Amino acid sequence: MKFGVVVFPGSNCEDDTVFALKYNLGQEVVKIWHKDHDLQNCDFIFLPGGFSYGDYLRSGAIARFSPVMNEVIAHANRGGYVMGICNGFQILAEAGLVPGVLLKNTTQKYICKNIYLKPQSKSALLTAGLEERAYKVPIAHGDGRYFADEDTIKALNDNDQVLFRYCNEAGVIEDSANPNGSLQNIAGVTNKGKNVFGMMPHPERAADGTLGNTDGYQILEQILNVLV
């Protein structure tokens, strides 16, 4: 399994993602510059967190038109695997690779803290094998409020496309555990084909024992459990 991490101007989590994949998960990984037209034969593409193009216009709105995204979209349309984390999720939404949009947090403030997630989808490779419990994973975003129209939300639920919902430490999904106002506490979704994954929390920042938290490792490990 070969992983590629796309680097946009303003990305700041590419090294975290590379470290988690290469040193924590022991996988081959390369960085891919946003102007490249070659995915270097990677099987799985990551769009990392950060502030691509300074988050001008809307978060992810300019990065969506970076040259490499033509290749990423083609890869996804062929059934190839793509995952966007935080800003990467926003880019996926702007590119139409996952449904919905990410709006400003209801607090109108940037939020950086540990939160809890509960896996939802029983059919997506990222969550199907996870234990049904609360996973502690950090968030760091100002535009993380997931929103979609009523029909889209219904389709996400009917098709088992919701990956994670925000919950409390006990695993209870409730309004008080929702850090940004996302509809139905949604923290991550997949596309209909379940080969493209987007989530706002950062599992790569909770993937090493030296950080005192390996819940993110357990999430990323699901990729290997299914595909390797």
Supply the CATH number for residue 143's domain: 3.40.50.880
Mean per-residue pLDDT, 42-54: 97
Tens digit of each residue's pLDDT (9 = 90 or more) over 82-107:
999 999 999 999 999 999 999 999 99
CA distance 13 to 86: 10
The mean of the pLDDT values for the chain is: 97
Residue 149 identity: D
The catalytically annotated residue of 86, 94, 141, 167 is: 86
pLDDT over 80 at 228, yes or no: no
For CA atoms 175, 179, 183, 188, give the dihedral sign: negative
Name the residue with higher pLDDT: 228 or 166. 166
Q: Against a cut of 0.85, is the pTM above it?
A: yes
Give catalytic status of residue 167 as yes or no: no
The set of residues, in sequence order, having a beta carbon less than 8 Å from that of 66 and lying 6+ positions away, is 8, 34, 35
Give catalytic status of residue 86 as yes or no: yes
pLDDT at site 85: 98
Give catalytic status of residue 202 as yes or no: yes
Q: Is 14 helix (H, G, I), strand (E, B) or coil?
A: helix
Query: Domains in the chain: how many in total?
Result: 1
Structure tokens at 225: 């459990």
The catalytically annotated residue of 34, 75, 141, 202 is: 202
Element (H, E) at 47: strand 44-47
Strands 2-7 and 101-103: unpaired
β-strand partners of 189: 162, 198
The catalytically annotated residue of 14, 71, 94, 204 is: 204
| Band of residue 31 on the pLDDT scale cut at 50, 70, 90 | very high
Q: Residue 217's domain spans which residues?
A: 2-227
DSSP 8-state class, residue 50: B
Residue 87 identity: N
